[in-house]
């Protein structure tokens, strides 16, 4: 994977990981906790945390010159589209939650996207206060 500073599925250094995640604007990293599930508010120990998923979106946006679509992720991305669908409900919701403008590959993708309101997604864990 010559265009990525790390192999997301293999061994890597902390410095390379931070460089990779550093592609995500600090404002997004500050606003959204990396280990919170956006749809449930549950804290989890994800193999791919939110910041890593966002970093891959930003890497693809740099590569393609536009916000990535599910087809871009399938063809060029390091992760399967299902990671984004499982975490954010729809791939386009993950793109928007990451601070990018969604690009719709199909009418079906737009319909899935319209089922969610990312303004209501959890950015930090729900507490039992």
Q: Answer yes or no: is pLDDT of 14 > 90.
A: no
The 10 Å CB-count burial string (b at 16+, else e) for 65-100 is: eebbbbebbeeebbbebebbbebbbbbbbbbbbbbb
User: What number is the average pLDDT over the span 77-91?
Assistant: 93
Question: pLDDT-based confidence at 87, cuts 50/70/90?
Answer: very high
pLDDT at 1: 40
Domain ranges of the chain: 14-118
- pTM of the prediction? 0.83
| Percentage with pLDDT > 90 across the chain | 64
The confidence score (pLDDT) of residue 64 equals: 92
């Amino acid at each position: 994977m010559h265009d990525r500073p790390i192999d997301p599925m293999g061994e890597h250094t902390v410095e390379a990981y931070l460089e990779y995640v550093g592609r995500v604007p600090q404002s997004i990293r500050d606003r959204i906790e990396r280990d919170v599930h956006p749809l449930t508010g549950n804290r989890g120990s994800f193999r791919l945390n939110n910041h890593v998923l966002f970093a891959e979106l930003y890497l693809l946006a740099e590569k393609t010159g536009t916000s990535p679509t599910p087809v871009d992720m399938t063809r060029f991305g390091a992760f399967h589209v299902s990671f984004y669908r499982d975490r954010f409900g729809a791939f386009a919701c993950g793109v928007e939650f990451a601070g990018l403008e969604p690009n719709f590959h199909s009418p079906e993708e737009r319909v899935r996207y319209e089922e969610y309101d990312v303004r209501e997604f959890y950015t930090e864990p729900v507490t039992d206060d």
